[in-house]
Structure 1
Amino acid sequence: MKTINKIAFSEIGSIPKLVKDFLNHDIQGFEAQTFSLENFAQQIHLKQNSFIVEKREILSETIKSQLSDFKLSSKQTENLENLKHKNTFTITTGHQLNLFSGPVFFVYKILQTIKTCTYLQQNFPDFNFIPVYWMASEDHDFAEINHFKTENNYYEINEKSGSAVGRIQINDTFFISEFEKEFKDSIFGTELILMLKEAYKNGNTLTKAIQTLVNRLFSDFGLLILDGDSKALKDQIKDVFKDELENFSLHKNSKDKVEFLTDKYGKVQVNPREINLFYLSETRDRIDFDGENYIVVDKNIQFTKEEILNELENYPEKFSPNALMRPVYQETVLPNLAYIGGNAEIMYWLELKDYFTQLNLPFPILIPRNSMLFLKEKTIGKIEKLNLKLDDFFQNFTKITNDKILDNNEILHLLNQKENLLAKQFSELKNAAENTDQSFGNLVKAEETRQMKSFGRMKKRLLRAEKIKQNELLERLENLFLDVHPSKTWQERIYNFSVFFADFGYSWIEFCMEEMVVEDSKLIIVAI
Structure 2
Amino acid sequence: MEVDCIPFKETGYFSKLICDYLDQRKDLEQFYNRFPSPENFVEQIKEKSDAYTFSNRAILVQALREQYKGMAISEVTEANVTSLEEKNTFTVVTGHQLNLFTGPLYFLYKIVSTINLTKELKRTYPAHQFVPVYWMATEDHDFEEINYFNLHGKKVQWSRSSSGAVGMLDTKGLDAVFETLSAELGKTGNAETLKVLFKKAYLEHSNLAKATRYLVNELFGEHGLVIVDGDDPSLKKLLVPYAEKDIFEQIPYNKVTESIGELEKVSSDYTIQVNPREINYFYLKEGLRERIVEQHGKFHVVNTEIEFSKKELSEELHKHPERFSPNVIARPLYQEVILPNLAYIGGGGELAYWLELKSYFDEMDITFPMLMLRNSALVITKKQADKINRLDLKVSHLFLKQNTFINKKIREISNIDIDFSPQKKYLEEQFEQMYQLAEETDKSFLGAVKAQEIKQKKGLDALEKRLLKAQKRKLRDHVVRMTDIQNELFPNKSLQERQLNFSELYLELGENLIPNLLDSLDPFSGTFSILKY
Same fold at TM > 0.5: yes
Q: For 1:459 and 1:104, how far apart are their aligned partners in 2?
A: 41
Distance 2:359 2:135 in 1: 23
1:489 and 1:408, CA in 2 relative to 1: closer, same or farther beyond 3 A?
A: closer
Please list, as runs of the form range in 1=range in 2, the aligned pairs for 1:399-438 lying within 5 A after superposition: 399-407=404-412, 409=414, 412-413=417-418, 415-438=420-443
Give the structure 2 partner of residue 454 of structure 1: 459
Does structure 2 conserve the Cα–Cα contact (< 8 Å) formed by 1:147 and 1:154? yes
For residue 159 of structure 2, give the secondary structure of its aligned residue in structure 1: coil
1:437-470, Cα deviation, whole Å (9 max, x unpaired): 3224443333222222221222223333333444
Cα deviation, 1:286-344, whole Å, max 9, x if unaligned, reads 11111311111111111111111111010000000011111000001000000000111
Q: Alpha-carbon deviation of 1:31?
A: 6.2
* Contact 1:97/1:135 (8 A) holds in 2: yes
- In structure 1, the residue matched to 2:170 is 169
2:485 maps to 480
1:274 lines up with 2:273 in the alignment: no
Task: Note the C-alpha offset of 1:113.
Answer: 0.4
Of 496, 510, 518, which aligns to 1:513?
Answer: 518
Question: Residues 245 and 418 of structure 1: is their aligned pair in 2 closer, same or farther, counting only changes over 3 Å?
Answer: closer
Residues 255, 125 of structure 1: alpha-carbon distance in 2 compared, 3 angstrom cutoff:
same
Q: d(CA) in 1 for partners of 2:426 and 2:51? A: 71
Q: How does 1:314-353 map to 2 (within 5 A)?
A: 314-353=319-358
Partner residue in 2 for 1:498? 503
Aligned residues of 1:159 and 1:168 also touching (Cα < 8 A)? no
Residue matched to 1:10: 9
Which residue is equivalent to 1:220? Answer: 222
1:152 offset after TM fit, Å? 4.8
Q: Deviations over 1:495-522 (max 9, x none)?
A: 1111111222221111100011121332
Alpha-carbon distance in 2 for matches of 1:257, 1:217? 38
1:427 deviation in Å? 2.4
Match of 1:130? 131
Residues 242 and 414 of structure 1, relative CA distance in 2, 3 Å threshold: closer
Separation in structure 2 between the aligned mates of residue 45 and residue 206 of structure 1, nearest angstrom: 37
Contact 1:171 1:202 in 2 (8 A): no
**Residue of structure 2 in register with 1:244 after alignment:** 246
Instruction: Report if aligned partners of 1:25, 1:31 keep a CA contact under 8 Å in 2.
Output: no
1:139 paired residue number? 140
Summarize the Cα distance change of 1:405–1:321 in structure 2 as closer, same or farther, 3 Å threshold: same
Aligned to 2:189: 187
Amino acid at match of 1:458: L
**Structure 1 range deviating more: 488-497 or 432-441:** 432-441
In the superposition, relative to structure 1, how do residues 417 and 133 fare at CA in structure 2: closer, same or farther (>3 Å)?
closer
CA displacement at 1:394 relative to structure 2: 1.7
Residue in 1 aligned with 2:36? 35
- Structure 1: how far apart are the matches of 2:337 and 2:30? 22
Q: Distance in 2 between matches of 1:413 and 1:192?
A: 51
- Of 197, 200, 203 in structure 1, the residue corresponding to residue 202 of structure 2 is 200
How far 1:215 sits from its partner (Å)?
A: 0.9
In the other structure, the counterpart of 1:76 is: 77
Task: Give the Cα separation in 2 of the matches to 1:409 and 1:190.
Answer: 49
Counterpart check, 1:253 vs 2:252: no
Q: TM-score under structure 2 normalisation?
A: 0.95
CA distance 1:234–1:453, shift in 2 (3 Å): same
Determine helix, strand or coil for the equivalent of 1:268.
coil
Shift of 1:187: 3.4
What's the counterpart of residue 23 of structure 2? Answer: 24
Q: How many residues align?
A: 527
Bigger drift between 164-173 and 463-472 goes to: 463-472
Measured after TM superposition, the shift of residue 66 of structure 1 is 0.3
Q: Which residue of 2 aligns with 1:45?
A: 46
Q: Distance in 1 between matches of 2:171 and 2:450?
A: 71
CA distance 1:47–1:439, change in 2 (3 Å): same
Unpaired segments ≥5 residues, structure 2: none
Q: 1:408 to 1:161 in 2, by over 3 A?
A: closer
Q: Is the partner of 1:149 in helix, strand or coil?
A: strand
Q: Using the alignment, how far apart are the partners of 1:117 and 1:354 within structure 2?
A: 27
In 2, Cα distance between the equivalents of 1:31 and 1:61? 31
| 1:459–1:291 CA distance, 2 compared to 1 (3 A) | farther
4+ aligned runs moved over 6 Å, structure 1: none
Is the 2:6–2:529 contact (alpha carbons within 8 Å) kept by the matching residues of 1? yes
Post-superposition Cα deviations, 1:236-291, rounded to whole Å, max 9, x if no partner, equal 01011111111111110112211122342343111111111101122110111113
Asked if residue 489 in structure 1 is aligned to residue 488 in structure 2, the reply is: no
2:6 is paired with a residue whose SS is strand
CA distance in 2, matches of 1:191, 1:286: 41
Which stretch of structure 1 is more off in the superposition, 481-490 or 378-387? 378-387
The 1-side partners of 2:42 and 2:200 are apart by 41
Task: Give CA deviations for 1:107-161 in whole Å, capped at 9, x if unaligned.
Answer: 1111110110010011111111000000000001111111111115322223441
**Counterpart of 1:97?**
98
**Higher alpha-carbon deviation: 373-382 or 440-449:** 440-449
Amino acid at match of 1:274: E
1:372-383 correspondence to structure 2 within 5 Å? 372-383=377-388
Partners of 1:8 and 1:404 in 2: CA distance: 21
**Alpha-carbon distance, 1:183 to partner:** 2.6
Specify which of 351, 368, 372 is matched with residue 367 of structure 1.
372
Question: 2:60 — aligned with what?
Answer: 59
Q: Shift of the alpha carbon at 1:104? A: 1.4
Name the CA shift for 1:227/1:432 in 2 (closer, same or farther; >3 Å). same
Aligned with 1:25: secondary structure?
Answer: coil
Matched, 1:153 2:154: yes
Query: Residue 404 and residue 8 in structure 1: after superposition, are their counterparts in 2 closer, same or farther (change >3 A)?
Result: closer
Amino acid at match of 1:73: S
Cα shift readout 1:390-436 (whole Å, capped 9, x = no counterpart): 01122344222112234465665585454333222222333444433
Cα distance 1:516–1:417, how it changes in 2: closer, same or farther (>3 A)? Answer: closer
AA partner of residue 2 (structure 2): K
Structure 2 distance, partners of 1:373, 1:407, is: 25
CA distance in 2, matches of 1:267, 1:376: 35
Identity %: 36
Cα distance in 2 between the residues matched to 1:414 and 1:277:
57
Change in Cα spacing, 1:408 to 1:59, as seen in structure 2 (3 Å) is: closer
d(CA) in 2 for partners of 1:356, 1:234: 18
* Post-superposition offset of 1:203: 5.0
What is the letter of the counterpart of residue 12 of structure 1?
A: T
